[in-house]
């Protein structure tokens, strides 16, 4: 059964094929609808939160059930070392508890969902496979939870928190780098091969990690600056 069985790499989503473009369009429509109805969402935030909690919990159960049945719960598929999977689990916990400490990480890790949406790698067919549906739902929810945290629950980042998070991310990057060689995976493209890294294949592992950390820091700093500036402006206007 194709909808459930593991799909060979050759039959997975290609960059900017019909499945990928349809996925991006779906994301844009849902996010746009969410943002343009923020006032209604604020008024019904408990209902919206419960709906997202139900959807997130359901896709987590489906994904890990599939991983156990089809892959025997391999370390590569099972551990939440993917930034998006980490964001999914943190997002579920945040929806459950509204713990702002969790959102410190979620605020920054969620940006990886945008990267995964624009540049999916080794993803099962989006609309015709159970993992494809899980992938689609989880990444959309990551973005919606981020919007809720910032614009509904009024989260405001700080540079102190940002610096602590980048240190944590850097440690995670180095762990994932070694983990890839232990299990033969390619998380964060930390193995030089045409399969695992879409560009800069000639770059060594350590320079790639340094480049990844540098880009992550710049993106995090930009996010922090933009949101802090926006929040300050809104406060002055009110």
pTM here is 0.87
Residues 6+ apart with CB under 8 A from 51: none
CB 129 within 8 A of CB 13: no
| Residue 21 pLDDT > 70 | yes
Considering only 15-24, 88-97, 119-128, which range has the smallest mean pLDDT? 119-128
C-alpha–C-alpha distance, residues 106 and 110, integer Å = 6
| Residue 45 pLDDT > 50 | yes
- Specify the DSSP class assigned to residue 148: I
Which string of DSSP letters, residue by residue, matches 51-62?
Answer: HHHHHHHHHHHH
Categorize the per-residue pLDDT at 88 as very low, low, confident or very high, splitting at 50, 70 and 90. very high
Q: What does the mean pLDDT of the chain come to? A: 84
- pLDDT score of 99: 93
C-alpha–C-alpha distance, residues 226 and 231, integer Å = 9
Please state the rounded mean pLDDT for residues 62-71. 84
The more confident residue out of 184 and 122 is 122
pLDDT tens sequence across 134-159: 889 999 999 999 999 999 999 989 99
C-alpha–C-alpha distance, residues 27 and 157, integer Å = 25
Residues 6+ apart with CB under 8 A from 219: 111
| Residue 173 pLDDT > 70 | yes
- Percent of the chain surpassing pLDDT 70: 85
What is the phi/psi pair of residue 77, to 5°? Answer: -85, -25
The more confident residue out of 32 and 169 is 32
Please state the rounded mean pLDDT for residues 203-227. 87
Please state the rounded mean pLDDT for residues 77-92. 80
């Amino acid at each position: 059964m194709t909808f459930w069985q593991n799909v060979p790499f050759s039959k997975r989503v290609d960059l900017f094929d019909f499945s990928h473009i349809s996925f991006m369009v779906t994301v844009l429509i849902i996010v746009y609808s969410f943002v343009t109805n923020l006032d209604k969402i604020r008024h019904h935030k408990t209902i919206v939160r419960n709906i997202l909690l139900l959807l997130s919990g359901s896709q987590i159960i489906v994904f890990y059930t599939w991983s156990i049945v089809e892959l025997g719960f391999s370390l590569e598929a099972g551990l939440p070392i993917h930034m998006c999977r980490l964001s999914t689990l943190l997002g579920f916990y945040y929806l459950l508890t509204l713990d702002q400490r969790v959102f410190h990480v979620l605020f920054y890790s969620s940006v990886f969902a945008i990267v995964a949406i624009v540049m999916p790698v080794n993803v099962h067919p989006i609309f015709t496979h159970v993992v494809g549906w899980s992938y689609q739902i989880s990444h959309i929810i990551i973005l919606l939870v981020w919007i809720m945290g910032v614009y509904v629950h009024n989260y405001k980042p700080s540079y102190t928190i940002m610096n602590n998070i980048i240190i944590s991310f850097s440690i995670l990057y180095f762990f994932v780098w070694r983990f890839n060689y232990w299990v033969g995976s390619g998380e964060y493209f930390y193995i030089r091969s045409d399969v695992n890294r879409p560009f800069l294949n000639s770059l060594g592992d350590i320079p790639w990690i340094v480049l990844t950390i540098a880009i992550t820091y710049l993106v995090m700093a930009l996010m922090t600056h933009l949101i802090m500036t926006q929040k300050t402006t809104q406060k002055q206007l009110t």
